Amino acid sequence: MTNKLTRKPPAYRQRKGYDQAIVTLTDAETGKRRDYWLGEFGSPESRELYYRLLAEYEALGRRLPDKKVVGAAVEPSACIDVDELALEYWRRVAGEHLSKRSNAIRASLRILRQMDGSTPVDQYGPRRLRLLREAMVAGDPAVEPPRRPWSRTTVNDRVRIVVSIYRWGVTQEIVPLSVAEALAMVEPLKRGRTKAHEGKKVGPVSDFMLEATLPELATPVAAMVRLQLLTGARPGEIVRLYGGDLERDERTGLLIAQLAEHKTSHLGGERVVYFGPEAEAVLEPFMNGRNPSRPLFSPTEAEAERRARQHALRKTPIGYGNQPGTNRSDEPDRTPGDAYTVCSYRRAIQYACERAFPPPEHLRPRMFEDGRRETNRAFHARLGGMGGGMGGWGA
């Protein structure tokens, strides 16, 4: 049986002898095939129609959509198009959110522009939004990078983002109020009544895996992990700790940090992290002599520690071979920053896990004789073929 995740969508192609784009769909029940003309080959409008058509095709259970409905011509309009609305929103609003939320907004804008970028905002209605939602549910292995099917809760969240973009457009007087109100009427997907899968709940890592990984972490990263265990703070709160954030609470005598930026700061909420005696002991080495205006945990210090550790393991006597620092580039492409981000913190832990629990040779990316490394797409496709369950999707 064909895996739904590996099943490629019908191809967008050029009709032989014409400058027109075409896609051929097959009815899942009758086996009947039908060609759909999409417009000028390579044009944004033909691409958008292609993605809308596929969304309608999946929404109908892979039955053939009505040509007149899907391919309806867009009427001329004095309003801006969806592309312009998305660009304005990204420029003026997305930066107000923390990075994780900004990534969710970016993903929503990408698929919205892909399907309806040239559509005037006053002609984008609930039906278009439902087609967009179907595309989120189905995923798309043909795009680069491949897009996995999103879970029900993720789809509902991304649809809310699209609606909020239109509401913002109303406040800027570039979107009619009636359009935003109509989009807000689209009901969310309900558990058990949709093809969207339920997301897996992320549980805590086992104590065994934690203790095995901690020795592989650089000292600043290991300290951040321990602080999260002891305080329950979020990764974004720990990586943004500065020496000046810490003070002694007069009532409890505990060390505390009153965070200016946190998950609910945009709602006016306050966030105080309390550090008990064990957590304070973890913090102490990073507080001594630290400039209060600098981050407590620095990738620069972690890199210096790594180089010192490599030097301690050096087998070639000093005076032979390369001398310390002589083979470093004066202008490296990448240098460690002053502070960790949530992403760099996650990657540091990921690399430590790979060292603590190395996979078998056949489950590692291959290295070729010319020095090239197997691409992520080829690596995951190979794992899928071996029963790795990746389904040919990229990272």
What's this model's pTM, rounded to 2 decimal places? 0.61
pLDDT of residue 261: 67
pLDDT of residue 109: 93
pLDDT of residue 267: 62
Which residue reads 């939602």 in tokens? 133
- The DSSP result for 303-316, as a single string, is HHHHHHHHHHT--S
Measured distance CA(292)–CA(241) in Å, rounded: 10
Residue 353: φ, ψ to 5°: -65, -40
Measured distance CA(344)–CA(373) in Å, rounded: 22
Residue 183: strand, helix, or coil? helix
Domain ranges (residues) in the chain = 10-73, 76-199, 207-316+336-343
pLDDT of residue 327: 66
Residue 34: strand, helix, or coil? strand
In Å, the largest CA–CA distance within the chain is 82
Contact 52, 70 (CB under 8 A): yes
Nearest to 357 by CA among 141, 205, 149: 205
pLDDT of residue 374: 86
Nearest to 297 by CA among 355, 233, 252: 233
Measured distance CA(261)–CA(264) in Å, rounded: 8
Contact 38, 20 (CB under 8 A): yes
pLDDT of residue 184: 95
- Number of Cβ atoms within 10 Å of the Cβ of 245: 17
Measured distance CA(171)–CA(392) in Å, rounded: 43
pLDDT of residue 282: 93
pLDDT tens by residue, 163-216:
999 999 999 899 999 999 999 999 999 998 888 889 888 888 888 999 999 999
Query: Looking at the domain 207-316+336-343, which fold is it?
Result: Topoisomerase I; Chain A, domain 3 (3.90.15)
Whether domain 76-199 has CATH 1.10.150.130: the reply is yes
Blockwise average pLDDT, block size 10, the chain, 395 residues: 58 86 88 86 86 81 72 61 91 74 89 90 92 90 79 95 94 92 94 88 87 93 94 89 87 85 65 91 87 86 80 73 68 75 90 89 83 82 56 33
Q: How many residues does the chain have?
A: 395
